[in-house]
Chain A
Amino acid sequence: GNSVTQMEGPVTLSEEAFLTINCTYTATGYPSLFWYVQYPGEGLQLLLKATKADDKGSNKGFEATYRKETTSFHLEKGSVQVSDSAVYFCALSDPGGSYIPTFGRGTSLIVHP
């Protein structure tokens, strides 16, 4: 079956530091890959996505590249802000199957001024 593995948190950084949150996946087909973000007290929002190998998703300074050879979709940002403090979820879904994504456990990011 499909699965998503994320690095454990919390990740604690100072403002303007470089961020990497690792995500690897297992899938039987060719999934679409997503990063969702959950700000405190809110539901999940789609942050970025990639639908095929070597695609790069980007949004709000965040980037992730679909690496089929390493089955990875690591999230990066060059300079984090306090407002980026949130929980980040990596997810995959099978375009040929149901729309229901498989989520990772989530990684909490805390950014200090």
Chain B
Amino acid sequence: SAVISQKPSRDICQRGTSLTIQCQVDSQVTMMFWYRQQPGQSLTLIATANQGSEATYESGFVIDKFPISRPNLTFSTLTVSNMSPEDSSIYLCSVEAGGLAGVGYNEQFFGPGTRLTVL
């Protein structure tokens, strides 16, 4: 299995500011994913981050608003830029399980999430 930690666990931010969320994994993984979970909603994939290449963004998400870094195989950051109240959400980091010893094919592991409130 993979153990994933996220920082911060929650934050309250002012409109127009930016917040960077960190995701740390206890093992090396190829693919990392960033999701948004708005209140009462399912998960929406923001982007896929592979080490050494630019992140791939899903429809409706752009790099200027959600820049992502992936400097190595165990770490990634997501920045929520120029925030508005509509960005209030839970942001989740996850990794795919292919290649992790003892883990079933096609599983994903999730971090605990970062609860963001924008005033």
Chain A interface, DSSP helix/strand/loop, else mixed: loop
Chain B residues within an 8 Å CB radius of A46: 107-109
Instruction: Assess whether A43 is in contact with B48, with CB atoms less than 8 Å apart.
Output: no
A93 at interface, CB cutoff 8 A: yes
Known contacts A44-B92, A99-B98, A103-B43; decide if A93 and B106 are in contact (CB<8 Å): yes
A49 touches B42 (CB 8 A): no
A52 CB, nearest partner CB in chain B, Å? 12
In the bound complex, residues from chain A placing their C-beta under 8 Å from that of B112 are 41-43
B residues within 8 A CB of A93?
106
In the complex, B41 has a CB within 8 A of chain A: yes
Size of the A side of the interface (Cβ < 8 Å), in residues, is 22
* A45–B110 touching, CB < 8 Å: yes
CB distance from B76 to the nearest CB of A (A): 15
Are the C-beta atoms of A99 and B111 separated by less than 8 Å? no
| 20 sample A-B contacts, Cβ–Cβ < 8 Å, listed by A number | A36-B110, A41-B112, A42-B113, A44-B92, A44-B110, A46-B107, A46-B108, A51-B105, A95-B106, A98-B48, A99-B31, A99-B96, A99-B106, A99-B108, A100-B45, A100-B48, A100-B96, A103-B43, A106-B41, A106-B42
**Beyond A51-B105, A99-B96, A104-B42, 19 additional pairs, beta carbon < 8 A:** A32-B105, A36-B110, A41-B112, A43-B4, A43-B94, A43-B110, A45-B110, A46-B107, A46-B108, A49-B104, A95-B106, A99-B31, A100-B48, A100-B96, A101-B106, A101-B108, A103-B42, A105-B41, A106-B41
